[in-house]
Amino acid sequence: MFEQLKNLAGREYYLISSLLLFLVFFIIVSIYLIKLNKKHVDVMSELPLKD
Residue ranges per domain, the chain? 2-49
Other CB atoms within 10 Å distance of the CB of residue 18: 10
pLDDT tens column, 3-27 = 766 676 777 788 888 999 999 999 9
| Tally of CA atoms within 13 A in the half-sphere of 47 that contains its CB | 7
* H-assigned helices in the chain: 2-6, 12-35, 38-46
What pTM was computed for the model? 0.61
Distance CA(49)–CA(51), nearest Å, equals: 7
For residue 39, pLDDT over 80 is answered with yes
Q: How far is CA 13 from CA 6, 7, 8, 10, 22, in A?
A: 14, 13, 9, 7, 14
